[in-house]
C-alpha cells in the first residue's frame, strides 16, 4: 500500500524516517541534538519535526537542560493518537489487540478457529476490533499479523500453516483489500523478537533469541539488530531440536523433539502422568499450584521441562552468542518453576570463552506477547526507511 515518492519528496520522507527513529531510540531529544546526531541542518529538522507532529507521530514534551543558550523543548513519541492492530494466529484461536505506538494495549478481541479456516477467524477479530476503534476514536494506521508456520514476510503470504494444512494463503492481500490499511505479515514467534526490540526495556540489545513455548515451540532470532528469517523463511525452528532419545513422535516425523515436551499439550501430558492425573484433565495453572504446594510429581515435570528447554537453548546459544534470551508463550507462565533449571542447563552446556554469560529471562509482555509482537511488525515498518510517513 502507499505510493513511492520521488525527488525532494523522497529525500524529505527519508529524513523524517531517520528523525522519527532517532526520537524513538532516545525517548526524548532536542531538535539541536537531532541536527547534530543526524548531520541535518536545523531548518530541515524543524520542518520534519513539524510534519511528524502534525500527523501525531511525535509531540512536544518537557523543557530540556540548557547547554548555554535557551532551554530546548524536547521532542518525544506521541503515544496517545496513533495505534496499530496486532493479530496473532495460533493453532486453535486468533487473538487481536489495538496497540499504541509505544506498545500499550488499548483493547483486545479473540475468536476460535473453526474448520481450519483461520482467515475467517482473523476477519471476525478484526471486525470486532474495528467496531471498537471506530467507537472509541482510535486512529489505526496499520495491521501486523503473526501466523504460526512458514510465512513469506516479503509477500505477506502464509506459505504453510501446519495446524490447518493450508498453503499459500494471501493474508496481506485479503486484509489490505478488506480494511484499506497497510498490512505486515510474519511468523508469530519471529514477530515477538521485534516487540523486545521496539517496546521492551532492552532496546540497546542487537543479538536476541526469543523462545516461544505455546501451542507450538519456535524461536525468533535477531542478529546484529536485524530479524534473521533464513533462506526459506524457516529460521528458528528450535522446536525440532531433539532433546530426548526415547520421547514421543513429533509432527515432523522425528522422535523426542523439544516441541513434544515444551509445547503446552506436550508439557501437560508429561505433567499429568507425573502427578497421576487423567490425561487431558490437567491445566497449567493447576500444575503450578501443585508445584507451589511441593507436589513431587509436579516439581519433577517442571524440572524435566527446564532441562529439555535448556538443552535445546544451549545449542542455539553456542551457535549465536546472543546478548539475551527472552522466554514467552503460555508455558512461560510457569517460569518460576522451571527458569532456574533452564539457566543452569544452559550454563553447563555452553562455552564461556569470552567470559560472557547470556542473560535468560521471561518476556516482560506476559500473555500479551503475541498481539504486541504482531503490532510491532507494523511499528518496525513505520521506523524503517521506506515507509511513507507523509501520506
User: According to the binding rule CB under 5 A, does residue 308 interact with Zn ion?
Assistant: no
Q: Half-sphere exposure of residue 6, counting CA atoms within 13 Å on the CB side?
A: 0
Nearer to Zn ion, 144 or 329 (CB): 329
The interface region with Zn ion, picked from 185-193, 204-212, 244-252, 361-369 by CB under 5 A, is 244-252
CB of 158 to Zn ion, least distance (A): 20
Question: Is 252 a residue that touches Zn ion (CB under 5 A)?
Answer: yes
252 vs 273 by CB, closer to Zn ion: 252
* Site for Zn ion contains 122 (CB under 5 A): no
Residue 253 Cβ vs Zn ion, minimum distance, rounded to whole Å:
7
240 binds Zn ion (CB under 5 A): yes
Nearer to Zn ion, 35 or 254 (CB): 254
What is the closest distance, in whole angstroms, from the C-beta atom of residue 243 to Zn ion in the complex? 10
Which range binds Zn ion by CB under 5 A, 31-39, 133-141, 227-235, 240-248?
Answer: 240-248
Q: Tell the smallest beta-carbon distance from residue 239 to Zn ion (Å).
A: 6
Count residues contacting Zn ion (CB under 5 A)?
5
Q: Is 261 a residue that touches Zn ion (CB under 5 A)? A: no
The residues in 210-239 that bind Zn ion, with binding defined as CB under 5 A, are none
- Is residue 184 near Zn ion by the rule CB under 5 A? no
Which of 77, 101, 250, 311 binds Zn ion (CB under 5 A)? It is: 250
Residue number, 252 or 357, with CB nearest to Zn ion: 252
In sequence order, the β-bridge partners of residue 93 are 112
Which residue's CB is nearer to Zn ion, number 26 or number 244?
A: 244
Q: 257 with 228: CB under 8 angstroms?
A: no
- Per CB under 5 A, the segment of 252-260, 313-321, 328-336, 366-374 that binds Zn ion is 252-260
257 sits near Zn ion (criterion: CB under 5 A): yes
Q: How many other CB atoms sit within 10 Å of the CB of residue 327?
A: 22
All cell numbers assigned to 207: 543479538
The DSSP annotation for 20-33 comes to: HHHHHHHSEEEHHH
Interface with Zn ion (CB under 5 A): 240, 250, 252, 254, 257
Amino acid at each position: 500500500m502507499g505510493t513511492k515518492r520521488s525527488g525532494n519528496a523522497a529525500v524529505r520522507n527519508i529524513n523524517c524516517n531517520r528523525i522519527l527513529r532517532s526520537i524513538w531510540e532516545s525517548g526524548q531529544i532536542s531538535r539541536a541534538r537531532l541536527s547534530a546526531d543526524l548531520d541535518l541542518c536545523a531548518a530541515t529538522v524543524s520542518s520534519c519535526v513539524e510534519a511528524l507532529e502534525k500527523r501525531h507521530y511525535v509531540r512536544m514534551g518537557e523543557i530540556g537542560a540548557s547547554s548555554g543558550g535557551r532551554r530546548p523543548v524536547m521532542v518525544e513519541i506521541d503515544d496517545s493518537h496513533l495505534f496499530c492492530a496486532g493479530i496473532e494466529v495460533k493453532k486453535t484461536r486468533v487473538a487481536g489487540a489495538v496497540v499504541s505506538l509505544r506498545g500499550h494495549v488499548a483493547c483486545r478481541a479473540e475468536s476460535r478457529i473453526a474448520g481450519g479456516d483461520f482467515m475467517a477467524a482473523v476477519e471476525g477479530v478484526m471486525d470486532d476490533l474495528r467496531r471498537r476503534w471506530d467507537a472509541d476514536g482510535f486512529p489505526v494506521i496499520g495491521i501486523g499479523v503473526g501466523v504460526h508456520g512458514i510465512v513469506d514476510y516479503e509477500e505477506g503470504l502464509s506459505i504453510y500453516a501446519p495446524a490447518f494444512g493450508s498453503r499459500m494463503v494471501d493474508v496481506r492481500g485479503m486484509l489490505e483489500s478488506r480494511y484499506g490499511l497497510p498490512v505486515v505479515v510474519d511468523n508469530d514467534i519471529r514477530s515477538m523478537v521485534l516487540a523486545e526490540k521496539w517496546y521492551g526495556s532492552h532496546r540497546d540489545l542487537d543479538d536476541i533469541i526469543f523462545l516461544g513455548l505455546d501451542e507450538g515451540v519456535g524461536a525468533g532470532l535477531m542478529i546484529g539488530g536485524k530479524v534473521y528469517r533464513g533462506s526459506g523463511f524457516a529460521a528458528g525452528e528450535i522446536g525440532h531440536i531433539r532433546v530426548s532419545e526415547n520421547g514421543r513422535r513429533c509432527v515432523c516425523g522425528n522422535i523426542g523433539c523439544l516441541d513434544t515436551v515444551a509445547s503446552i499439550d506436550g508439557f501437560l501430558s508429561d505433567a499429568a502422568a507425573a502427578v497421576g492425573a487423567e490425561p487431558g484433565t490437567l491445566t497449567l495453572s493447576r500444575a503450578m499450584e501443585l508445584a507451589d504446594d511441593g507436589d513431587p510429581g509436579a516439581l519433577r515435570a517442571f524440572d524435566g521441562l527446564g532441562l529439555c528447554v535448556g538443552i535445546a537453548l544451549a545449542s542455539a546459544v553456542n551457535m549465536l552468542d546472543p546478548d539475551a534470551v527472552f522466554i514467552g508463550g503460555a508455558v512461560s507462565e510457569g517460569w518460576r518453576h522451571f527458569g532456574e533449571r533452564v539457566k543452569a542447563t544452559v550454563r553447563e552446556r555452553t562455552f564461556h570463552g569470552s567470559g560472557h554469560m547470556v542473560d535468560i529471562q521471561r518476556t516482560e509482555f506476559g500473555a500479551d506477547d503475541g498481539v504486541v509482537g504482531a503490532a510491532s511488525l507494523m511499528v518496525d515498518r513505520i521506523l524503517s526507511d521506506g515507509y511513507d510517513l507523509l501520506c
